[in-house]
Amino acid sequence: MSIHFVPFIQLDGRAKEAIDFYVEALGAEVTFSQTFGAGPGASEGHVPEATKERIAHSELKIGEAQLMVADSEPGKKPREGDLLTVCITTPDAEEATRMYNALREGGEVITPLAAFHFSAAYGVVKDKFGVTFQCFTSRRRS
């Protein structure tokens, strides 16, 4: 099984600017990018206008490394210490669930583990040491 630890940067409305900067400064290649407005529910009016152009998720490749960059929703600024988190990526939902449950012991659940349109099992937890982890089941096999 393949498990990856990926740095995940969350910004308050400046993700596009950061992505452009990393492309120029680090030679990053954008392998995926989606705005909130391009996601599910946007066409039904479930996404506020101020949110539509923000980056919901992006993946950059820098050499052999991966970096994820996204925006928070307006009014939901990232908490101090959450600008950079670790995204644990695995193709196996059971493994993502196991790691999520282990990390939440003595910690704090930020986003309960659940299925989302982008992942069979996704959740965010701050462990007992104050480190924030996103447990993510990738739809792509690596």
Decide which of 83 and 64 is more confident. 64
- Say whether 30 sits in a helix, a strand or coil: strand
Q: Does residue 84 carry a pLDDT above 90?
A: no
pLDDT digits (tens, 9 = 90+) for 32-55: 999 988 877 667 777 788 888 999
Question: 38-45 long-range CB contacts below 8 Å, 24 or more apart?
Answer: 39/117, 40/117
For residues 132-142, give the mean pLDDT. 78
For residues 115-119, give the mean pLDDT. 87
pLDDT digits (tens, 9 = 90+) for 123-132: 999 988 788 9
Domains of the chain: 11-71 (3.30.720), 79-142 (3.30.720.110)
pLDDT of residue 42: 67
Average pLDDT of the chain is 87
State pTM to two decimals.
Answer: 0.73
Sequence-distant (≥ 6) Cβ neighbours of residue 3 within 8 angstroms = 88, 89, 90, 95
pLDDT of residue 140: 59
- Residue 124 φ then ψ, to 5°: -125, 135
Q: Does residue 108 carry a pLDDT above 50?
A: yes
User: What span, in angstroms and rounded, lies between the C-alpha atoms of 63 and 101?
Assistant: 32
Q: Does residue 142 carry a pLDDT above 60?
A: no
Decide which of 110 and 138 is more confident. 110
